[in-house]
Structure 1
Amino acid sequence: MKLCFNEATTLENSNLEKDLEICEANGYDYIEIRSVDKLPEYLKTHTLDDLADYFASHHIKPLALNALIYFNNRDKEGHDAIIQEFREMMAICGKIGAKYVVAVPLMAPDKILRKDIKASSIAVLEELSDIAKPHGVKIAVEFIGHPECTINTFEDAYDIVQSVNRDNVGLVFDSFHFHAMGSNIENLKNADGSKIFLFHIDDTEDFQIGILTDDDRVWPGYGAINLGAHISTLQTLGYSGAVSVELFRPEYYKLTPEETIRKAKETTISVVSKYFNR
């Protein structure tokens, strides 16, 4: 299995240029680029051609743009903005060679009926699928394990993706989000493995289901998640994509980016190597 670095892991102590340099030195195969902050920061002093040239001349490659945020249940203005942003992402993917865009569902403090969430999500994902198809880019929907997220369980996300039924629309399987709202491992075991595009590995402190937040994440293997069950199930389903380490731990941001990136690799490989060869 190829190793990927998600830039959230150094959100507050590094930038894209440093992340690339350190990940390359540590043998990472891929990077998930934070399109919401680190990429715009990079483009203040560099160009997309600079970034494309870097990937062309180094081992590390771009896996995904992370992320198209709050894609569903928007008003017309919000929807139009999402579509425009996604079109711009297609141009970026084409330039640098990224194959996926992560799509994050709406966080909604006000209640929305599940049927309305599903209907909106399907309609938008079908529209995005049509836009992405000629670019050869796939959309990976990431359910968020938080009560206010409109798609917060594996079961709901999988149902939506199955209903869309497009080859270029699938899921991000994130161990933290799967655990955080109590998604069922048996439902994962019965899933179509071809619909899982990306695997985010992380762990968490042992707080109650339903109140976990990103700050609770810890190094893979240092927390309460049964990562072995997740990884072995993905293996059985035929998953052969990258494993991308994604943490948001405030205390880890106090480390140097070199320390963070090195530790992220060590802990991820320690867990994953029991099931997959590097």
Structure 2
Amino acid sequence: MKIGFNEGCNRFCKEHSVLKDLEFCEKYGFDYIDIQSECLDRDLAAGKYTIEQLGEWFQTHHLSMLSYNALKFFNMKQTQEEKDAIMAELDEIIRRCLILDCKMIVVVPSENITVPATRGEIRTDAVTVLKEMLKKVEPHGIKLSIEFCGSPGMSINRFEDAYAIVQAVNSPLLGVTLDQYHFHSMASEWAALEKADGKRIFVWHLNDMEDMPCGAAYNTDEKRLWPGDPRGCLDHKRFADTLKKIGFEGDCCTVEVFRPDYYELTQEENVRTAAEVTRSHVRRYWNQPATSSLS
């Protein structure tokens, strides 16, 4: 099992930069990085470097880019102008991915939509949009991964809904991002994950969280914890054993937390800590045979 770093962990650390994340991730033994779009956009706008310079960095180092994280709010657009804007954003992300040698784009569903759509209507819309997106990425061999987000206001907020969309589209280039926090925070069904095809899970985001009520307004990303924190409530063994048994082939877990006190660390301290806890997690839960039975 390889390990990855998501820049959500340290995006607000003092004097943060993507290039420094690349260097620190390489230094502390990460295999992959998920570059956060907010971080990249911020640095490019500030003129810290060009996208071409980042591409050149990857050509001479071990670290690889696992995903471009993310194209946000891709679905349930109500006007042609909104739909065109999303496709234009995708075109720009594809351009960047080709320079960065990145073969995965995470797509995030829309939040707080104004149309009172049913789950079925949301699924139908997502299938239509994603099929159009796949036409754009397919010539480049780039995959799309839906990240359902465990918040009441998200249009796709449970694993079973995201997986149903993936099944309906039925493309080898479309899968699901499984974030442990998101899975728990809106009470996604274990039965749905246990019946899923592990090959359709493209990204596994590793984290823990405080034991907050599912769906509570205050159960936010800020309640995430490093995996292994004694305050955590997630069933790490069940996640690992289930992924093993359903045939997860990603061969990587990517640590992703958004905790404000972690942003008080230096950028290097944050990456070093993330590497330590992720490596410890892999040793404890992944490098052992699965023992739990699936229902």
TM-score, reference length from structure 2: 0.91
Give the aligned partner of residue 178 of structure 1.
183
Give the aligned partner of residue 141 of structure 1.
146
1:221 maps to a residue whose letter is G
Alignment of 1:40-119 (within 5 A): 40-43=41-44, 44-75=47-78, 76-108=80-112, 110=114, 111-119=116-124
CA contact (8 A) 1:17 1:42 kept: no
* Aligned-partner SS, 1:228: helix
Could you list the runs of 5+ residues in structure 2 that have no partner in the other structure?
A: 288-295
Give the aligned partner of residue 165 of structure 1.
170
Q: Does 1:189 align with 2:198?
A: no
1:52 is displaced (CA, Å) by 1.1
1:46 is displaced (CA, Å) by 1.5
- Matched residues in 2 for 1:15 and 1:203: separation? 25
Q: 1:194 to 1:240 in 2, by over 3 A?
A: closer
Give the aligned partner of residue 220 of structure 1.
227
1:109 is displaced (CA, Å) by 5.3
Out of 155, 164, 168, the position equivalent to 2:160 is 155
Could you list the runs of 5+ residues in structure 1 that have no partner in the other structure?
A: none
1:177 is displaced (CA, Å) by 0.3
> C-alpha offsets along residues 142-175 of structure 1, whole Å, 9 cap, x if unaligned?
0000001000000111111100111101100100
- Matched residues in 2 for 1:9 and 1:181: separation? 21
- Matched residues in 2 for 1:118 and 1:198: separation? 21
Out of 245, 270, 273, the position equivalent to 1:236 is 245
CA contact (8 A) 1:231 1:272 kept: no
Q: Runs in 1 of length 4+ with deviation above 3 angstroms? A: none
- Matched residues in 1 for 2:285 and 2:234: separation? 16
- Matched residues in 2 for 1:261 and 1:52: separation? 21
- Matched residues in 1 for 2:226 and 2:113: separation? 30
1:98 maps to a residue whose letter is C
TM-score, reference length from structure 1: 0.96
1:228 maps to a residue whose letter is K
1:114 is displaced (CA, Å) by 1.6
1:245 is displaced (CA, Å) by 0.5
Give the aligned partner of residue 39 of structure 2.
38
37-46 vs 262-271, which deviates more? 37-46
Q: Taking every aligned residue pair, what percent have the same amino acid on both sides?
A: 41
1:121 maps to a residue whose letter is A
CA contact (8 A) 2:113 2:155 kept: no
- Matched residues in 1 for 2:264 and 2:249: separation? 33
Q: Does 1:203 align with 2:208?
A: yes
1:119 is displaced (CA, Å) by 1.1
1:269 is displaced (CA, Å) by 1.9
Give the aligned partner of residue 292 of structure 2.
none
258-267 vs 39-48, which deviates more? 39-48
